[in-house]
Structure 1
Amino acid sequence: MRKRWGRLAAVSAVALTAACGIGDRAGADTVTMTVWTSNQEQLDLLNRLAGEFSAQHGGTPVRIETVPQADYTTKVSVRLAGGDPPDLGWLGAPDAVGMAATEVLADVGPALREDPTYRLDDFVPSAFTNWQDGDAVYGVPFSTSPFFVVYNRDFFSRAGLPDPAELAARGEWTWDRLAALARELQPTLPGGSYVFQSNEGSLYGPLPVSWPTLDPLLRAYGARFASGDQCTMDSPEAVRAIATLHRMVSTDGTAVPPGAQADFYAGNAALTITQLSRLSQLEGAKFRYGFAPLPAGPGEQPRVTGQAGLVVFQQARHRDLAIEFLKFLTSEGPMRELARFFPPPRRSVLADAAQVYAGNALPPDAVTDILVPGITEGQAFQYPRTWPEIKTAAQPVFDELWVPGANVPQELSELCGEVGPLLREKG
C-alpha cells in the first residue's frame, strides 16, 4: 500500500465537537470512539452498550464522541495527523478504503478469526467487500443498508396508473417502464413536482453521494463502473443506463433537474430511492406511501447496499481494548439491539427481522421481501483503493453529463480516459 499519510498532515487542526459517554472526560485510560450520529436514541443505546462493555472489562472508561457527519472524516483525519487519535470509530465504506490504503487502520482479522464465539461466518458473504484485503480485515460493517424505492401512492392512484409495487409483483418494474410511466404521470402532478427524485436529491452532488442512484441504475442494465482495473463506464450497457436517466432529466422533464428543489418527503416528488434510516422523515406525511424494490433492467434485478463500519485506528493508544470493543458491538447480541437503527449483516439477526422491525415504518411484507433479501443478496459498490483520486478526476465529467444536450457516449468515453489510469495504479 502506498503512503498518502502526508496529505492528512497538511490539514489544519480542528477540535472535535460535542461528546458524551461513560465518564465526564477522556483521560489517558479512556477508550474513545467517534461516531457521526446526533440522534439521542442512538447515542443512549451506544452509551448503554459502552457501559456494559466497561463493566465486563474492569470498569475501563469508554467515551463516545459525536462529530457532525459533514465534518466527520476531516476532523478524524486531523486528529490522526496530529497524533491525537481516537481508538476506534465509524467510517463509511469509501473512507475506510482510502484510510486502509494509507495504513491508518489496524488489521482486526486475526482477533475476529481466533475467537470462535464471534462467529465470523454468521455475516452475509458480501459484508466485507470494502473491509477486507486478502486476509487483512480493516473494519466490520455494523450497518449494511439496502436501497429501495418509496413512492407516493396518492399520485399514482389519482392518475389511474399502476404503482411500483404492483408492477414489481408482475415482474414489470424496470427503469424503462419507470421512464415511460413517468411521462404519463408528470402532467398530473402539482406544479413544481417531479416523478423521480434521486437518493436524497444528490444526483448532481459529489460522486460519493450520487453513487447510490447511479450504481443501481448501472447494475440494472448489466453495467459496472469497472471490471478489475479496466474502466467499463463507456460500455454499451453503461451508455444505455446513463442515457435513460439523462432523458428523464433533460428531455422528459420527469426527474428533478439540476438547480431545482423537490423533496419526496414534503410531497413534491412521486418516488425516490431511500434506505431504512431515512424513513423517519415519513412521520406526519400527508400522503399514502408504499415501497418497492429498485427498478430492474435487462441486466439484473439490482440489490445494492450502503455500508458503514467500525474500525480501529493503527495509532490507537488502547488498541487491544478497542478491538475488543469492536468485537463486542458487532457480536450478535449488541448488533440485535443496534439493528433497529442500522440494518445488520449478521444472518442470525436477519432471521428474526420481522420481530426486530415490528412497528417500523417499513411494513412486514416489505421487511421480508425487500429489506432482508436486499442485505442477504445485496452487493456493495466496491471502491478501488485509488477512490479519492478517482472521484476527483471523475467529478467534472459527471457534471457535464447532466447538461441538456450532453453527448452521453462521448462523456463516458472521456470519463474512462480520466479514471482508467487511476484504476490501473497499484495501491
Structure 2
Amino acid sequence: MRALIPAVALLTLAAACGSGAEQTAQSGPATLRMSIWTANEDHLKLFNEIAAGYTKAKVTFESIPIDSYTTTLTTQIAGGKAPDLAWILEGSAPDFVESGALAPLSSKIQNAAELAPAATRLWQKDGELYAYPFSTSPFGVFVNTDLLREAGKKVPAKGWTWQEAMDAAAAVAKKGKAGLIVGDWDYKNWTNLATLWEGWGAKAWSEDGATCGFNQPPMVEAMTFLHKSIFTDKALPGPGETVDFYSGDAAMIVTQISRASLLKDATFDWTLLPLPHGPAGEYSVIGQAGIGVIKKSPNAELAADFLGYFTNAENSAKLAQYFPPARTSQLNVETLAKSNPLLKPEQLQAVVIDGIPNGVVKPSHKGQEELIQTARAALDPLWQPGADVKAVLDGVCTKIQPLLGS
C-alpha cells in the first residue's frame, strides 16, 4: 500500500515552506509549474497552446501518475518543491480547502458568479473560492449497439434502468464478449461505484461526513445487486479480468465524455446514454477536479493571474473538448458540440447539460487517502462468489467509522 499523508499533515504543510519559498529571485521571465495527472498527448498539446498565449510567464505542465498523484503532491509541498498550481481530485478537496494550503481565487476568476453552484460547492469555504472546478464531468454509459443487437437486445434509450442494463450485459456475455464495465474501478477504486449505488440513494457516509453509510439498507441493496450481476449473471467482468471496451470487446462502459476521443476510429456503432435509473429514480454522478494555487508559492499572485487566464471564457470553451465547463453560459449544446464533434447534440444535452445542475459529486472527505485505502481493503472479501454482502459492509463501517469521526 502506498504511503499516505493524513489530512492533518496539510495543515502543517500550509504553514511550512512551499514551492521553493526560500529560493532567491531569478532574472528573466518567471516560470510557473502546474502539476497534472494526465499524460494524454492531446491534452498536453491543448494546455501548451493555451499557455503559449500567456505573456507574463512561461508555464510548464508536470504529469504525475494518478495512482500516486495526491501522495506525490503533498510530499512535494512538505519538501518545499511544490508546484505553483496543481490539479486537485474531488476526493482531496476537503483536505486542501480546509487546510489553508490554497490561495483565494474569487477575484481572479473571470465572471466567477456564473459558475454553477453544484460545481463550486466542494471548492469553497466561507464564500471564497479556493480552486477552479475546471472539469465538472457527469458520468454516462457508452454502449456498443452492435453487440446488443447481436445478443438480441434492443438499443436502450434515455430512461433505461439498471436492471435493463445488466440484463443486456448478461446477454452479451453469453455470446462471448464482456458485458458492462465500470470504468477505472477494476475492483480497486470503489468511489467509482457511486455511479451505480446512487441509483438506490446509497451514500458512503452521511451528508455531514460523520457516519458510515456502507451498512445502511440502500447500500446493502445496491451492492447485493452488483454482486449478483458479477458472480451470478456474469454481466460484468470478474476480478482480474481486463477488457477493452474501445476495441469492441464489451457491451458498455460507465465513464465520462472525455473518453469519447478513444472511439474516433471505432469499428462498431455506439451511442452515449445517461446513467440508468435505479430504484430511487433518475440521478447524475459527477467526477470533478479543481485547479488551485499553492498559497506558499513565491509566485502565487502570478499563478492566480495565469489561472484566471487559463480558465477565462475563451479558454474554458477550448478545454470543454475534454473537460466539461462549470460556466453556465457554456453549458449549452452549441458550445459543447464545437469541441466534442464525436458526440451528438442530444447526447451532450442528456448526459452533460442535464447532468451537471443536480449532479452528486463522487465521495469526498477529509483524510480521503486513508479512507480510500482502508475501505478498499475492507471491501476485498466482497469480490468473490458466495460473499455475505451485509457482513462485509458491516466490516467496512467498523474499519472506517473511526476515520470519519477523527
Q: TM-score range by the shorter chain?
A: 0.7 to 0.9
Per-residue CA shift, 1:61-86, capped at 9, x if unaligned? 22222223345434433332221222
Shift of the 358–47 alpha-carbon distance from structure 1 to 2, 3 Å rule, reads closer
| CA deviation after TM superposition for structure 1 residue 143, in Å | 0.8
TM-score (norm 1): 0.83
Shift of the 406–359 alpha-carbon distance from structure 1 to 2, 3 Å rule, reads closer
Identify which of structures 1 and 2 has the higher relative contact order when contacts are C-alpha pairs closer than 8 Å and 6+ apart. Answer: 2
Return the match for 2:190 from 202, 210, 235. 210
CA–CA distance in structure 2, aligned partners of residues 180 and 51 of structure 1? 50
| CA deviation after TM superposition for structure 1 residue 6, in Å | 9.1
Query: Which aligned pairs between 1:336-355 and structure 2 lie closer than 5 A?
Result: 336-353=317-334
**SS of residue in 2 equivalent to 1:306:** strand
CA–CA distance in structure 2, aligned partners of residues 323 and 91 of structure 1? 15
| CA deviation after TM superposition for structure 1 residue 8, in Å | 7.8
CA–CA distance in structure 1, aligned partners of residues 374 and 270 of structure 2? 39
Q: Does 1:244 align with 2:241?
A: no
Report if aligned partners of 1:199, 1:210 keep a CA contact under 8 Å in 2: no
| CA deviation after TM superposition for structure 1 residue 312, in Å | 0.5
Name structure 1 gaps, 5 residues minimum. Answer: 10-24, 55-59
**SS of residue in 2 equivalent to 1:85:** coil
Aligned to 2:82: 85
Query: Which aligned pairs between 1:161-176 and structure 2 lie closer than 5 A?
Result: 161-165=153-157, 168=158, 171=159, 173-176=160-163
- Amino-acid identity (%): 32
| CA deviation after TM superposition for structure 1 residue 26, in Å | 10
Q: Which moves more between the two structures, 361-370 or 239-248?
A: 361-370
Q: Which moves more between the two structures, 34-43 or 295-304?
A: 34-43
**SS of residue in 1 equivalent to 2:53:** helix
Shift of the 341–185 alpha-carbon distance from structure 1 to 2, 3 Å rule, reads closer
CA–CA distance in structure 1, aligned partners of residues 169 and 47 of structure 2? 43
| CA deviation after TM superposition for structure 1 residue 99, in Å | 3.1
Aligned to 2:202: 223
Aligned to 2:383: 402
CA–CA distance in structure 1, aligned partners of residues 227 and 121 of structure 2? 30
Q: Which amino acid aligns with 2:58?
A: V
Report if aligned partners of 1:35, 1:64 keep a CA contact under 8 Å in 2: no
| CA deviation after TM superposition for structure 1 residue 102, in Å | 4.1
Q: Which amino acid aligns with 1:415?
A: V
Q: Does 1:34 align with 2:35?
A: yes
| CA deviation after TM superposition for structure 1 residue 409, in Å | 0.9
CA–CA distance in structure 1, aligned partners of residues 347 and 111 of structure 2? 28
Q: Which moves more between the two structures, 82-91 or 242-251?
A: 82-91
Per-residue CA shift, 1:360-417, capped at 9, x if unaligned? 2212221122221122332212411122221122111111111211111111112112
Query: Which aligned pairs between 1:26-425 and structure 2 lie closer than 5 A?
Result: 29-54=30-55, 60-70=56-66, 71-109=68-106, 111-112=107-108, 118-165=110-157, 168=158, 171=159, 173-187=160-174, 189-190=175-176, 193-200=177-184, 202-205=185-188, 209-212=189-192, 214-227=193-206, 228=208, 229-353=210-334, 356-357=337-338, 360-425=341-406
CA–CA distance in structure 2, aligned partners of residues 419 and 247 of structure 1? 25
Per-residue CA shift, 1:324-343, capped at 9, x if unaligned? 11222222221112111211
Report if aligned partners of 1:216, 1:302 keep a CA contact under 8 Å in 2: no
Aligned to 2:23: none
**SS of residue in 2 equivalent to 1:53:** coil
Q: Which amino acid aligns with 1:45?
A: L
CA–CA distance in structure 1, aligned partners of residues 154 and 355 of structure 2? 23
**SS of residue in 2 equivalent to 1:316:** coil
Shift of the 74–8 alpha-carbon distance from structure 1 to 2, 3 Å rule, reads farther
Per-residue CA shift, 1:316-361, capped at 9, x if unaligned? 1111111111222222221112111211111111135456446622
Shift of the 245–51 alpha-carbon distance from structure 1 to 2, 3 Å rule, reads same
TM-score (norm 2): 0.87
Return the match for 2:8 from 3, 18, 25. 3
Q: Which amino acid aligns with 1:64?
A: T
Q: Which amino acid aligns with 2:84?
A: D
Report if aligned partners of 1:401, 1:411 keep a CA contact under 8 Å in 2: yes
**SS of residue in 2 equivalent to 1:130:** helix
**SS of residue in 1 equivalent to 2:392:** helix
Shift of the 161–284 alpha-carbon distance from structure 1 to 2, 3 Å rule, reads same
Alignment coverage as a number of residue pairs: 387
CA–CA distance in structure 2, aligned partners of residues 286 and 93 of structure 1? 34
Shift of the 421–27 alpha-carbon distance from structure 1 to 2, 3 Å rule, reads farther
CA–CA distance in structure 2, aligned partners of residues 74 and 406 of structure 1? 32
Report if aligned partners of 1:26, 1:63 keep a CA contact under 8 Å in 2: no
Q: Which amino acid aligns with 1:68?
A: I
Q: CA RMSD in A?
A: 2.6
Report if aligned partners of 2:148, 2:168 keep a CA contact under 8 Å in 1: no
Shift of the 221–366 alpha-carbon distance from structure 1 to 2, 3 Å rule, reads same
Per-residue CA shift, 1:162-181, capped at 9, x if unaligned? 1222xx3xx3x111222334
